Amino acid sequence: MNRGKISSALLAGGVVVLTLLASGCLPKPADDGQGTGLIGQTPDQIRRATDSPDPAAVVADASGPGKNPIPWENRKETSEPPLPDEDTEDRVRDLFKGLSQSRPDAIERWFVPLVVLTKIKDMHMASPAEQDRAVRSLHADLLARSRDRLARMLGRRAFGTATFESLELGACRFVGPGTDFNRLAYWTCEKNTVYYHVDGDRKTLTVRRLINWGRSWYVLEW
């Protein structure tokens, strides 16, 4: 083969490669272990196999990319519920500060936020406005009942020098979407124990029901 024919063949081959690259038809090279490390596997398969959370900890809701982020802990059932995080402990400490001042409204610091309950609950209403009113009514009712129970407890116990120690989750179960008027999954734990100290004595409180949003736990019923 003369030089002219070789040059023509090389040029034709280059055109074919460029065409394939532009159209995305070339197969992706095998993972050499220096990239993502997901050799023949998707990130979801890795998470299912190892039962470890997405490093980002949140994913986009079905309503659209980047909207209403849902914590990983509210998407996938695991063998155990997530342990309470520092935010949860800070909220309980704030509650005890309020209790030391005989303020039952301090429960609001640890009670499930309306925005979280709105994301979780589906009241099967005919319109978004009715759904919003129903969730707000439920939130107000649960908060009022918890506040009243806390007020009665303040009449029986002294918290002037009480300091929070730790929170122990009780009997927990994972509630899947659509199970209990909920659009999103969550963990619920009943008969939870709060340990605290008064003048050197270790004491306990029982919280009826907690629910999670990510690794944060909130009172749903005192």
Q: Residue ranges per domain, the chain?
A: 86-221
Least confident of 20-34, 107-121, 204-218: 20-34
pTM above 0.75, yes or no: no
* Least confident interval from 89-93, 101-105, 111-115, 176-180: 176-180
pLDDT at 28 over 80: no
* Mean pLDDT of all residues in 167-186: 94
Sheet strands (E) in 11-159: 58-59, 70-71
- Burial of 121-146, coded b for 16+ CB within 10 Å and e otherwise, reads bbeeeeeeeebeebbeebbeebbeeb
Can you give the pLDDT at residue 68? 54
Evaluated on CA atoms 92, 96, 97, 102, the torsion sign reads positive
> Which has more pLDDT, 65 or 93?
93
Question: Is the confidence at residue 44, as pLDDT, over 70?
Answer: no
Stronger pLDDT, 82 or 57, i.e. the higher one = 82
Span 140-151, mean pLDDT? Answer: 97
